[in-house]
Amino acid sequence: MDAAEFRRRGKEMVDYVADYLEKIEERPVYPDLEPGYLRDLIPTEAPCEPESFEDLMQDVERVIMPGITHWHSPNFFAYFPAASSYPAMLADMLCGAIGCIGFSWSTASEATLMSLLAARCKAVRRVQAVESERSESDVLSKLVAYTSDQAHSSVERAALIGAVMMRKVPTDEHFAVREEMLKKMVEEDKAAGLIPFYFCATLGTTPSCAFDHITKLGPLCNKENMWMHIDAAYAGSAFICPEFRPLLNGIEYADSFNFNPHKWLLINFDCSTMWVKKRTDIIGHWQIPLGRRFRSLKMWFVFRLYGLKGLQAHIRKQVALAKEFESLVQADNRFEICAEVILGLVCFRLKGSNELNQNLLKRITKSREIHLVPCQLSGRFVLRFAICARTTESRHIQRAWRHITQLAFELLQEQPH
């Protein structure tokens, strides 16, 4: 769907929404269906080929609407009000278009927290089943969780909230956690009387898109009764392409898995998905951890209107653009690549000091032509070039590189020789 079609479909949708709300009284306020009715009405897989908007909207009436409790019907007197107004809807349209991300805590972070809490509860029950005299607070004080030194800051925060210890596992030269590193820490901690209970692996770290070795880490966690949560917030979307599926090997050992379709699967923010091996581990205690809008609707729209092929093409194109940028960097011997380019992220820097690279980034930021953020890799200041926008084309990559090299040229000219 391009902008021209969006103009047309958007206006149809505005009318659909206005019709829906004007005639909402004509609909039964409460559905006459059993939970699970949807199963027979929808296919088990997303369509491979894109479908038409007309088919989709017919299915909105056929499939979705019969299952809806119409919270905005004037015959709805249950719970408390759920506010709704036309201006707020207009604002949400604009908000969706701007699609900027308010920072501090992402929804993948919440998945991490929930998995840690589930693991904590399970560990306490497991220890108390064997040593019934131990108090809950004693067990809690001995629990220890692990994650990569490259993991997202939200993992540490989950431990802070859950009031358990969290240890950072050092990574190898590819910024990945290897089995032997975790094993050593777990054995030391057990010898000291602590109880290892949780490991958060990362597939596609934030700084450099590194992949922890879960094929080996998984069996270790299973053997040690440690919950293995996998944070694949960014990289998870790539697993819809068979050629990237091997990066997911070892998933069979995981207790929980999270990725954010709002990062790389064309679903506007926010939309984060979580799988749990045993539902009861999560549901029995605090249910699904989020108040939620009807977010699955936008997944359904995107799956149907792009089709699997369209989504795969999007991922592949963005990986190709990253490879294109990587080639440009490699061809310029003033620069170096700092981590293997596996998906859509290129970590690079000028050969030279951290200060030099900090100055380069300052000039890039000041110019306001392109926007990048840095990371630290093994103490080195590195620039992260992530392929982000759906509309990024080769010409943007080429122009960005010309811009970066121009600024680098000016910077290097000014350096004392």
Interacting positions 289-318 with its own copies (CB under 8 A): 289-295, 297-298, 300-302, 304-306, 318
The answer to whether residue 20 forms part of the interface with its own copies (CB under 8 A) is yes
The answer to whether residue 49 forms part of the interface with its own copies (CB under 8 A) is no
Q: How far is the CB of 105 from its own copies (least distance, A)?
A: 5
Closest C-alpha among 403, 103, 244 to residue 383: 403
> In angstroms, rounded to a whole number, what is the distance separating the alpha carbons of residues 72 and 9?
24
The answer to whether residue 123 forms part of the interface with its own copies (CB under 8 A) is no
Distance of CA 268 to the CA centre of its chain: 12
Where does residue 166 fall: left (phi above 0), alpha (psi -120 to 50 degrees), or beta otherwise? beta
Give per-residue burial for 347-366: e unless 16+ CB within 10 Å, then b.
bbbbebeeebbebbbeebee
Name which of 33 and 41 has its Cβ closer to its own copies.
33
Judged by CB under 8 A, which of 131, 187, 188, 369 binds its own copies? 369
Closest C-alpha among 145, 147, 196 to residue 170: 147
The answer to whether residue 396 forms part of the interface with its own copies (CB under 8 A) is yes
The answer to whether residue 192 forms part of the interface with its own copies (CB under 8 A) is no
The answer to whether residue 36 forms part of the interface with its own copies (CB under 8 A) is no
Residues numbered 211-270 forming contacts with its own copies, rule: CB under 8 A: 233-234, 261-270
Name which of 10 and 170 has its Cβ closer to its own copies.
10
Q: Which two tokens stand for residue 3?
A: 């902008």
Instruction: State how far the alpha carbon of 249 is from the alpha carbons of 179, 199, 243, in Å.
Output: 15, 17, 12
Judged by CB under 8 A, which of 55, 243, 388, 398 binds its own copies? 388
195: number of Cβ within 10 Å:
21
Q: How far is the CB of 224 from its own copies (least distance, A)?
A: 22
The answer to whether residue 32 forms part of the interface with its own copies (CB under 8 A) is yes
The answer to whether residue 320 forms part of the interface with its own copies (CB under 8 A) is no
Axis-axis angle for helices 354-367, 394-414 (nearest 10): 120
Where does residue 378 fall: left (phi above 0), alpha (psi -120 to 50 degrees), or beta otherwise? left
> In angstroms, rounded to a whole number, what is the distance separating the alpha carbons of residues 177 and 135?
33
Q: How far is the CB of 375 from its own copies (least distance, A)?
A: 10
> In angstroms, rounded to a whole number, what is the distance separating the alpha carbons of residues 301 and 350?
43
Q: Which stretch binds its own copies (CB under 8 A): 133-141, 183-191, 212-220, 347-355?
A: 133-141
The answer to whether residue 73 forms part of the interface with its own copies (CB under 8 A) is yes
Judged by CB under 8 A, which of 44, 192, 389, 413 binds its own copies? 389
Judged by CB under 8 A, which of 112, 144, 145, 162 binds its own copies? 162
Binding-site size for its own copies (CB under 8 A) equals 134
Q: How far is the CB of 61 from its own copies (least distance, A)?
A: 11
